[in-house]
Amino acid sequence: MDIETVAPFAAGPASAVIVMLMVLGALYQLTTRQLIPLASKALDRHLAALDELVKSNREDHAQHRQDHQQIILTLQRLDREVTSPGITPQ
């Protein structure tokens, strides 16, 4: 084979394959060096925000439970006062 036979392939399909391999290599490096760490950091921030939300939700739940218990005790006291009006509640 001489250069005149190989030249059209080197300038056409073969060079396109080489360029495509270089582009794919660059995309792979971009993905592994930039996008994956960026996504990992975003995921860590998201999980930290969820942890804070769960903690806040538990605190709110405990406070609401305590408030509901106080409301129930108050309603029971009022019920005793209404059902037996002459007796002072203890």
Domain boundaries, the chain: 3-83
How high is the pLDDT of residue 18?
Answer: 85
Separation between Cα atoms, residue 70 and residue 77, nearest integer Å: 11
The whole-angstrom separation of Cα 64 and Cα 49 is 22
pLDDT > 60? residue 47: yes
Q: How many residues does the chain have?
A: 90
**pTM, rounded to two decimals:** 0.52
Largest Cα span, the chain:
120
For the segment 20-41, what is each residue's pLDDT rounded down to a tens digit? 999 999 999 999 999 999 999 9
- The SS3 call for residue 26 is helix
* Cα of 17 vs its chain's centroid, Å: 39
